[in-house]
């Protein structure tokens, strides 16, 4: 393999946050339209997985005429293999709170929430303390802005934005139909900006240094840096901020254990990339790039040759079956049948061609499921079955 690979490590997110008051004050003195343009020209895209341009999201909400609007920080972080948002909220919470307040100023909102997954309950006291300190500063600046912590209760689907609103409204976390989109009809039916924790932390960098510093990192369609949660068969699991657009081969050179057989990019709802595709795969958002570009919430799970890909798929499918909200049939029944199906093939009760039937079922789910959970089961299923077919059968 080619030597001389070079992964660019970046240090924005966890950089000292002691200047947050200055950044807040400075931003609140700039015209909202200028702040939006700063974000738009940085080309920052959402870090929660879907990759919607953040500047446009804020602009859409700013253009709504409603007097009541909400801001929500999505800290549900439930995608298997993802653990970066907790680190941000632990190490640099003031950046996230500052970003939320600037968003409030830009779109005209006075009430914000952090939706924190129930598993991170132990973070509550420290976060509440940070919120109190932050709100005191807002008061000093005569800026009317309140932030509340809302605890999740152990449901992966509540990370999906509309399910999250339902959950906050005291209901089952069942995704809504889209449109209407959150920027016009979100929490309690009001215009809502919902952003991932990391997305908000990046806006802090952009408001601090200007759009260019951010834009200069990365590649076309995938600007800036991103936090990666690295786990599995690697000598150095952990959280790393890297420039977007890296090739998976370079990533594996740096993080692999010398025996990497495949990498799952983007968690259970992402894609498995086998070794033969490392070189042609880059990490970033889809655009007209050559080769394959995989978007991701930042989960990178490495598997070496001792791992059975059947076990990996079985584990993911069990996850989806348990976490499906059960609201729509393609997903509720589909997840069940996929799991039973691969078990039957493994036990020899069905032959290998049955896998093709299951592949068609995932395609149907992709088109007919109501939300991203059911739609994305096809990603891992097809990329694992197509690349490791023998392991599914024998």
Ligand X SMILES: Cc1cc2nc3c(=O)[nH]c(=O)nc-3n(C[C@H](O)[C@H](O)[C@H](O)COP(=O)(O)O)c2cc1C
CB of 149 to ligand SF4, least distance (A): 25
For residues 80 and 374, which CB has a smaller minimum distance to ligand SF4 in the complex?
Answer: 374
The CA distance from 236 to 332, in Å, is: 37
Q: List the one residue out of 96, 16, 87 whose CA is nearest residue 229.
A: 87
> What stretch of H or E contains 243?
strand 238-243
Contact flag: residue 270 with other proteins (CB under 8 A): no
The CA distance from 82 to 117, in Å, is: 12
Q: Where are the beta strands (DSSP E) in 94-153?
A: 111-116, 146-151
For residues 350 and 370, which CB has a smaller minimum distance to ligand SF4 in the complex?
Answer: 370
Q: Give which of ligand X, ligand SF4, other proteins, none residue 151 binds (C-beta under 5 to 8 Å, depending on kind).
A: other proteins
Judge if the upstream peptide bond of residue 85 is cis by omega within 30 degrees of 0.
no
The interface mask with ligand X, positions 352-381, x = CB under 6 A, is -------------------xxx--------
226 touches 10 (CB < 8 A): no
In this structure, what token pair is assigned to residue 169? Answer: 């409204």
Binding segment for ligand X among 23-31, 40-48, 138-146, 215-223 (CB under 6 A)? 40-48
Number of other residues whose CB lies within 10 A of the CB of residue 122: 8
CB of 323 to ligand X, least distance (A): 8
Among 12, 20, 70, 120, binds other proteins (CB under 8 A): 120
Q: List the one residue out of 202, 383, 379, 233 whose CA is nearest residue 306.
A: 233
- C-alpha dihedral over 61, 62, 65, 67, to 10 degrees? 90
CB of 210 to other proteins, least distance (A): 33
The CA distance from 117 to 164, in Å, is: 11
CB of 196 to ligand X, least distance (A): 3
- 């970003």: which residue's tokens? 99
Binding segment for ligand X among 77-85, 249-257, 275-283, 352-360 (CB under 6 A)? 77-85
Q: List the one residue out of 338, 274, 339 whose CA is nearest residue 304.
A: 274
For residues 53 and 280, which CB has a smaller minimum distance to ligand X in the complex?
Answer: 53
Q: Give which of ligand SF4, ligand X, other proteins, none residue 328 binds (C-beta under 5 to 8 Å, depending on kind).
A: ligand SF4
CB of 113 to other proteins, least distance (A): 10
Among 23, 36, 194, 217, binds ligand X (CB under 6 A): 194
Contact flag: residue 319 with other proteins (CB under 8 A): yes
The CA distance from 348 to 255, in Å, is: 37
The CA distance from 202 to 214, in Å, is: 9
Q: Give which of other proteins, ligand SF4, ligand X, none residue 307 binds (C-beta under 5 to 8 Å, depending on kind).
A: other proteins
Query: Which residues contribute to the site for ligand X (CB under 6 A)?
Result: 46-50, 52, 74, 76-79, 157, 159-161, 194-196, 199, 371-373
Query: Which residues contribute to the site for other proteins (CB under 8 A)?
Result: 77-83, 86, 117-122, 150-156, 167-173, 188, 229-233, 237-239, 268, 301, 307, 311-312, 315-316, 319, 322-323, 325
């Amino acid at each position: 393999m080619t030597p001389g690979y070079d992964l660019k490590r970046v240090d924005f997110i966890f950089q000292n946050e002691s200047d947050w008051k200055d950044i807040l004050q400075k931003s609140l003195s700039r015209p909202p339209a200028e702040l939006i343009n700063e974000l738009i020209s940085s080309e920052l895209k959402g870090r929660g997985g879907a990759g919607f341009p953040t500047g446009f999201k804020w602009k859409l909400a700013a253009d709504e005429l409603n007097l009541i609007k909400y801001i929500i920080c999505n800290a549900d972080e439930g995608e298997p293999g993802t653990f970066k948002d907790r680190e941000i909220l632990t190490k640099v919470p003031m950046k996230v709170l500052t970003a939320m307040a600037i968003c409030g100023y830009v779109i005209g909102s006075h009430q914000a929430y952090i939706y924190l997954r129930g598993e991170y309950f132990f973070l509550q006291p420290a976060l509440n303390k940070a919120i109190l300190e932050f709100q005191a500063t807002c008061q000093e600046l005569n800026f009317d802005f309140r932030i509340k912590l809302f605890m999740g209760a152990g449901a992966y689907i509540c990370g999906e934005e509309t399910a999250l609103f339902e959950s906050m409204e005291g209901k089952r976390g069942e995704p809504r139909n889209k449109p209407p989109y959150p920027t016009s009809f979100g929490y309690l039916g009001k215009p809502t900006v919902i952003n991932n924790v990391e997305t908000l932390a990046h806006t802090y960098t952009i408001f601090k240094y200007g759009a260019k510093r951010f834009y200069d990192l990365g590649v076309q369609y995938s600007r800036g840096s991103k936090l990666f949660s690295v786990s599995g068969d690697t000598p150095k699991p952990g959280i790393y901020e890297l420039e977007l657009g890296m090739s998976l081969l370079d990533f594996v050179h740096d993080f692999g254990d010398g025996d990497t057989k495949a990498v799952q990019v983007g968690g259970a709802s992402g894609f498995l990339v086998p070794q033969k595709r490392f070189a042609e795969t880059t990490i970033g958002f889809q655009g007209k790039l050559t080769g394959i570009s995989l978007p991701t919430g930042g989960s990178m799970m490495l598997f070496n040759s001792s791992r059975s890909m059947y076990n990996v798929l079985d584990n993911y499918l069990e996850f989806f079956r348990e976490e499906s909200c059960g609201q729509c049939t393609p997903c509720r029944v589909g997840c069940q049948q996929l799991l039973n199906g691969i078990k039957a093939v493994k036990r020899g009760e069905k032959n290998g061609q049955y896998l093709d039937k299951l592949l068609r079922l995932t395609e149907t789910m992709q088109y007919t499921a109501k939300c991203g959970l059911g739609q994305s089961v096809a990603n891992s299923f097809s990329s694992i079955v197509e690349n490791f077919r023998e392991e599914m059968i024998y």
